[in-house]
Amino acid sequence: MAPFPSELCPCGSTILYTQCCGPYHTGAAIAPNAEALMRSRYTAYVLGNADYLKATWHPSRFPPQFHLDDQPHTQWLGLKVKRYELSEDSHALVEFIARYKINGRAHRLHEVSRFVREGGRWLYLSGEIDGDV
């Protein structure tokens, strides 16, 4: 479920959802860079938007067993982008830490994600997870 129009975007941008990740989720706009795509994917996890996650995952890397409904209920708490690197015009890295809770237990996901731009759209390729730090 999307946040109310007057709510800040869950991605941590300090912008209203309707002016931040919302247009990407509805298809009214595409993420202009890999960092924006990563933030919009985080927000899609917060909102349970599996269709957006699938649409922004590179088709060659999308795991066929991916189902948000099969995962434990996750309470997403916040996102911090640590690094964004553009290499060439079509490849980028985004390092981030996402905080969340499962069954009341706090976790931190530290990941360096790889993105590629194809046909003018950024897509998620893969990520290296630094464990439950």
pLDDT score at 115: 98
What is each CA distance from 45 to 1, 73, 91, 124, in whole angstroms?
Answer: 11, 11, 23, 14
18 vs 47: CA distance, rounded Å: 14
pLDDT higher than 70, residue 98: yes
Q: Domain 17-132 class?
A: alpha beta
Higher pLDDT, 22 or 5: 22
User: Model-level pTM?
Assistant: 0.90
Helix, strand, coil share of the chain (percent; to 5): 25, 40, 35
Domain positions in the chain are: 17-132
Q: How confident is the model at residue 18 (pLDDT cuts 50, 70, 90)?
A: very high
Helices (H), the chain: 22-26, 34-47, 50-55
pLDDT of residue 4: 64
Q: What percent of the chain clears pLDDT 70, i.e. is strictly above it?
A: 92
The answer to whether the beta carbons of residues 56 and 42 sit under 8 Å apart is no
